[in-house]
Structure 1
Amino acid sequence: MSEKFLVHIENSAEEYFCAADQDLLRGMEALGRRGIPVGCRGGGCGVCKVQITAGEYEARKMSRSYVSAEEIAQGIVLACRVYPRSEIRLAVQGKMIKAFGGPAPGQEKAPKP
């Protein structure tokens, strides 16, 4: 049986357990929340972008068309290609924001002038 780690979603204050051999996207889907965007599940479409704000993880190959080396350095990855290695805190990005109630606290966009 695989070890499980707690994952905190900052945007919605939800938490779920994710097994070390399960990608973060599959764990999110187990929440039963409607509207979670799911695409290719292979790191090639970019719809499941998240930012890991705390914790250790293993990231597998992702398309550079959707996640740059600079983003990876900032913890921005695709949930379908990330496996937890410790407790994780993440903020959903891009197309995932709508499903989780908006930007994470502190990540709201500045108002337009």
Structure 2
Amino acid sequence: MTDTFEMIELVKGLHFSCSREQSLLKAMELAGKRCIPVGCRGGGCGLCKVQVVSGEFSCGPMSKKHVDEQSRRCGQVLACRVYPLTDLTFEYRPAAELASTQQQVQ
């Protein structure tokens, strides 16, 4: 079993590696990629909200104001608080687009 996984951002087509001890956002920064905006890095501002399309992950604490339980079940999470358990495919879209996507799923 590997401790490093491949992260694929679908909108810009960027690839980078992430260990299970790193958040998705931290791995992106260390790889020198720019596909997710960076805010507080602590799960409180909601700026780094992404849609996980495939893969498994664990989450640290996130503000329920930005990610409620239903959003989390749909794979909408904050990149600063997501830790991969497998390779992940995700996309970043501005918050208004993510909200629209969530409404379509409901």
* TM superposition score category, shorter chain reference: 0.7 to 0.9
SS at 2:46's partner residue?
coil
Q: Deviations over 1:75-100 (max 9, x none)?
A: 000000000000100011326xxxxx
SS at 1:26's partner residue?
helix
Cα distance in 1 between the residues matched to 2:81 and 2:94 = 16
Cα distance in 2 between the residues matched to 1:61 and 1:33 = 24
Give 1:22 deviation, angstroms.
0.3
Show the counterpart of 1:66.
Answer: 66
Show the counterpart of 2:104.
Answer: none
Does structure 2 conserve the Cα–Cα contact (< 8 Å) formed by 1:29 and 1:36?
no
Aligned length: 96
For structure 1, which segment, 13-22 or 30-39, has the greater mean C-alpha deviation from structure 2 after superposition?
A: 30-39
**TM-score between the two structures when normalised by the length of structure 2:** 0.81
SS at 1:77's partner residue?
strand
Give 1:48 deviation, angstroms.
0.4
- RMSD over aligned CA atoms reads 2.0
SS at 1:71's partner residue?
helix
Does structure 2 conserve the Cα–Cα contact (< 8 Å) formed by 1:54 and 1:90?
yes
Show the counterpart of 2:41.
Answer: 41
CA 5–11 in structure 1, closer or farther in 2 if over 3 Å, else same: same
Cα distance in 1 between the residues matched to 2:86 and 2:93 = 21
Cα distance in 2 between the residues matched to 1:36 and 1:90 = 10
The gaps in structure 1 that reach 5 residues or longer are 96-102, 108-113
Q: Which has the higher helix share?
A: 2
Give 1:15 deviation, angstroms.
0.5
**TM-score between the two structures when normalised by the length of structure 1:** 0.76
Q: Alignment identity in percent?
A: 40
Q: Which residue identity is paired with 1:46?
A: G
